[in-house]
Amino acid sequence: MRKTYFTPGPAELFPTVEQHYRDAFDLQLGSISHRSAQFRKIYQHTVEQLRTLMNIPESSGIFFTGSATEIWERIIQNTVEFESFHLVNGSFSKKFYDFSSELGKFAHKYEKPFGEGFDYAEIQVPQYSELICTTANETSSGVQMRPAEIHKLKRGNKDKFVAVDMVSSAPYPDLDFELIDTAFFSVQKSFGMPAGLGCWIANPSMLDKAKSLKKNDGIIGTYHTLPSLWKNFEKFETPETPNVMGIYVLGKVAEDMNKIGIETIRKETERKAKMLYDFATKCDYLDIFVQNPEHRSQTVVVVNTVGKPAAEIIDAVKTSDNMVIGSGYGDFKATQLRIANFAAVNIEQVESLIEVMKKL
Amino acid sequence: MRKTYFTPGPAELFPTVEQHYRDAFDLQLGSISHRSAQFRKIYQHTVEQLRTLMNIPESSGIFFTGSATEIWERIIQNTVEFESFHLVNGSFSKKFYDFSSELGKFAHKYEKPFGEGFDYAEIQVPQYSELICTTANETSSGVQMRPAEIHKLKRGNKDKFVAVDMVSSAPYPDLDFELIDTAFFSVQKSFGMPAGLGCWIANPSMLDKAKSLKKNDGIIGTYHTLPSLWKNFEKFETPETPNVMGIYVLGKVAEDMNKIGIETIRKETERKAKMLYDFATKCDYLDIFVQNPEHRSQTVVVVNTVGKPAAEIIDAVKTSDNMVIGSGYGDFKATQLRIANFAAVNIEQVESLIEVMKKL
């Protein structure tokens, strides 16, 4: 019996994904050379559709990696000589911070408790940090940082790079890619694809910094340095043999999303999020976890369970109606639920989930 | 019209691959958590099938990356403090060597002209090299290094790690994994899968070295260090969200290959290689490129074209019979052909290719 996944990643597949993979097999894309005109057209199409969908300027490069986790590493290697600064409020923003230390950099952090978010006014950026790492959506706690706050952070720190982790929110946040320097996501969240592909957007000043670090004998990596990725990107190629089918399907899903329209997707996301938060407010056994409404994620709704163990709710929903909702992250596994509100689930599916949960 | 790919990677898909992907979609593997029991069973199954197929001991870890290119980088980061040594005789062994320098190590090389191979007796290993990098099959030139020679190299250098690039030959070479320290491949070659997954086999002494480097403030990476990969591997998990479907399908293909039997696959590979080399010997417009028969690859047959441009042959074969053969690599594009002889193409298909080429 087919399940509907409201898990925050991997998540429900976007409705067209399986057919796009079938088409990819019919086109024998698993066998084509990544140095062929056929592959270059695929890469170009995916780039064009993503530019339209997320309003990414022509000047920015768009690259592919094995995962978004890899991109944390690559951003630090390529843009930080000595110091980075991280806004930490959950497990994933913490890992980005940890990576910087592991790569031998001096990593500063401004940390808030799990469930709290950041606004520009309160952030003090350490003077010598070269890179500011923000998280548009902290998947572990369901906290968002609004694009307006991220934009203020860049305007107030024009001499520093601003990186935005959009892993569990892209393409929802309306980020100004003329302003921020770099952002990234993985395909198994809001794009509703099988995992195994990260997507990295970076502007030319990031490339310049990487080149200058390398020139001064810095170690910035090998095949996935920005100079290597960018040189290949200019001809729509990749340094290594990439996940060709994933790149093809991402372009097709972005094209499908462009047909729906990003404004429609954003409005539906907000409408579904409101339905879920409203239900949690009324429901006896649920409480909204994130107190500040402006910090509440629109794509991953996190709720506390009251008087019922989270596992009991998860099991009941799965057993009765084949719907899969996520447990809380780490220490919150027993007492929280995470409900993904990605583009792959529609309003009717969210309504069904709410109906099922009402009956518990 | 469906083509048959005799290209050396990406290559013809193994006959069962598309069905395994369909099954993966039916099982909704694109949506399952990589921290679930369901995923751990998949990882474990793939590991067990690979152990059987390639005779990998229980003590070795088996890990997944985005590509084999990534594994070049990870091996150097995790096992080399100061010096590595590389047997270089083509574009890919050269890249492995370049990566070491890019990562700030002192990289030694013993280089031979394109088309020539290595035997143990002639190799002088620099005293302080910590790692010896060999290539079981140089995809660019069609030169193999025989397992017996690789084994002698390790026996003669027990204090150094020996790494084997099996990218375009696994599972064909009968390597002794009790002896060599590490090997790796990517799935789009002889395993006949769509690209986007690398597989890395390493023994516990590699892990020990990585731990000791880290302890002494060495920078060995972040999520894809051996300590991080191994800790996750012990519970059949991965540090990041991996290519779940790829890992599943690799396990299924390895299982299919085990049903055929590795000895049968090896014999058929040798029989098909002999057919192709014999044909090249007799054919007016072809010459075998690799002079020493013992250095001739069994999985990637490289031939010089005589009196006919390579592109004309490639086009004729494609136009008349929908068969795709590879061009020479780099500078040899105009004057060489590379014909992949992976497990995905059977004896009848190789016979058909030869029949078609006879008529040219």
The 10s digit of each residue's pLDDT in B315-351 is 999 999 999 999 999 999 999 999 999 999 999 999 9
Of B17, B29, B66, the CB nearest to A67: B66
For residue range B22-35, list pLDDT tens digits in order.
999 999 999 999 99
| Residue B355: predicted pLDDT | 97
CATH class of segment(s) A17-259: alpha beta
Name the nearest CA neighbour of A141 among A292, A270, A342, A328: A328
- Whether the per-residue pLDDT at B9 is higher than 90: the answer is no
DSSP assignment letter at B296? B
Which residues make Cβ contacts (< 8 Å) with residue A179, sequence separation at least 6?
Answer: A151, A154, A155, A162
For residue range A74-127, list pLDDT tens digits in order.
999 999 999 999 999 999 999 999 999 999 999 999 999 999 999 999 999 999
Of B10, B224, B245, the CB nearest to A33: B10
Q: Do A245 and B3 touch (CB under 8 A)?
A: no
Q: Do B241 and A69 touch (CB under 8 A)?
A: yes
Q: Do B194 and A245 touch (CB under 8 A)?
A: yes
**Locus of tokens 């990031």:** A206
Q: Which residues in chain A have their CB less than 8 angstroms from residue B98's CB? A: 222
* Averaged pLDDT for residues B99-125: 98
Distance of CA B2 to the CA centre of its chain: 26
Rounded to a whole number, what is the distance in Å from the CA of A219 to chain B's nearest CA? 6
Q: Which pLDDT band holds residue B102 (cuts at 50, 70, 90)?
A: very high
Which residues make Cβ contacts (< 8 Å) with residue B196, sequence separation at least 6?
Answer: A66, A196, A197, A242, A243, A244, A245, A246, B66, B67, B187, B188, B243, B246
* Averaged pLDDT for residues A148-176: 98
* Averaged pLDDT for residues A23-41: 97
For residue range A291-337, list pLDDT tens digits in order.
999 999 999 999 999 999 999 999 999 999 999 999 999 999 999 99
H-type alpha helices, B156-203: none
For residue range A237-286, list pLDDT tens digits in order.
999 999 999 999 999 999 999 999 999 999 999 999 999 999 999 999 99
End-to-end CA distance of chain A: 21
Nearest-Cα residue of chain B relative to residue A30: B194
Q: Do B243 and A28 touch (CB under 8 A)?
A: no
Q: Do B30 and A243 touch (CB under 8 A)?
A: no
With an 8 Å Cβ cutoff, is B104 touching chain A? Answer: yes
- In whole angstroms, give the CA distance from residue B326 to residue B340: 8
Of B30, B68, B196, the CB nearest to A10: B30
| Residue A1: predicted pLDDT | 87
| Residue B194: predicted pLDDT | 98
- In whole angstroms, give the CA distance from residue B258 to residue B20: 16
This complex has an ipTM of 0.98
Instruction: Give me the total of CB pairs closer than 8 Å, taking one residue from chain A and one from chain B.
Output: 165
With an 8 Å Cβ cutoff, is B65 touching chain A? Answer: yes
Rounded to a whole number, what is the distance in Å from the CA of A351 to chain B's nearest CA? 20
| Residue A202: predicted pLDDT | 98
B256, B319 contact by CB (below 8 A):
no
With an 8 Å Cβ cutoff, is A195 touching chain B? Answer: yes
| Residue B46: predicted pLDDT | 99
Q: If DSSP codes are grouped into helix, strand and coil, which group holds residue A4?
A: strand
Would you kindly state where each structural domain of chain A is located, as residue ranges? 4-11+261-358, 17-259
- Whether the per-residue pLDDT at B151 is higher than 90: the answer is yes
Q: Do B222 and A72 touch (CB under 8 A)?
A: yes
- In whole angstroms, give the CA distance from residue B48 to residue B55: 10
| Residue B237: predicted pLDDT | 98
pLDDT over 70, % of chain B = 100
With an 8 Å Cβ cutoff, is A242 touching chain B? Answer: yes
Which residues make Cβ contacts (< 8 Å) with residue A26, sequence separation at least 6?
Answer: none
* DSSP labels, A288-356: ES--SGGGB-SSEEEEEESSS-HHHHHHHHHHHH-EEEEEPPGGGTTTEEEEE--TTS-HHHHHHHHHH
Q: If DSSP codes are grouped into helix, strand and coil, which group holds residue B229?
A: helix
- Whether the per-residue pLDDT at A9 is higher than 90: the answer is no
For residue range B186-213, list pLDDT tens digits in order.
999 999 999 999 999 999 999 999 999 9
CATH 3.40.50.300 is the classification of domain B4-11+262-358? no
Of B65, B194, B241, the CB nearest to A30: B194
Q: Do B243 and A244 touch (CB under 8 A)?
A: no
Q: Which pLDDT band holds residue B1 (cuts at 50, 70, 90)?
A: confident
Q: Which residues in chain B have their CB less than 8 angstroms from residue A221's CB? A: 73, 102-103
Q: Which pLDDT band holds residue A157 (cuts at 50, 70, 90)?
A: very high
For residue range B157-191, list pLDDT tens digits in order.
999 999 999 999 999 999 999 999 999 999 999 99
* Averaged pLDDT for residues B97-120: 98
B residues 24-43 lying closer than 8 A (beta carbon) to A: 24-25, 28-34
Rounded to a whole number, what is the distance in Å from the CA of A11 to chain B's nearest CA? 5
Mutate to test the interface with B, among A26, A28, A82 (most CBs of B within 10 A): A28
Q: Do B30 and A9 touch (CB under 8 A)?
A: no
With an 8 Å Cβ cutoff, is A309 touching chain B? Answer: no
A residues 112-171 lying closer than 8 A (beta carbon) to B: none
For residue range B260-311, list pLDDT tens digits in order.
999 999 999 999 999 999 999 999 999 999 999 999 999 999 999 999 999 9
CATH of domain A4-11+261-358: 3.90.1150.10
Nearest-Cα residue of chain B relative to residue A33: B10
Average pLDDT of chain A is 97
For residue range A194-237, list pLDDT tens digits in order.
999 999 999 999 999 999 999 999 999 999 999 999 999 999 99
- In whole angstroms, give the CA distance from residue B226 to residue B233: 10
Helix B37-54 × helix B244-260 angle, to 10°: 40
Of B31, B102, B224, the CB nearest to A222: B102
With an 8 Å Cβ cutoff, is B293 touching chain A? Answer: no
With an 8 Å Cβ cutoff, is B243 touching chain A? Answer: yes
- In whole angstroms, give the CA distance from residue A181 to residue A161: 6
With an 8 Å Cβ cutoff, is B249 touching chain A? Answer: no
Q: Hey, what's the torsion of the CAs at B186, B192, B196, B201, to 10 degrees?
A: -30
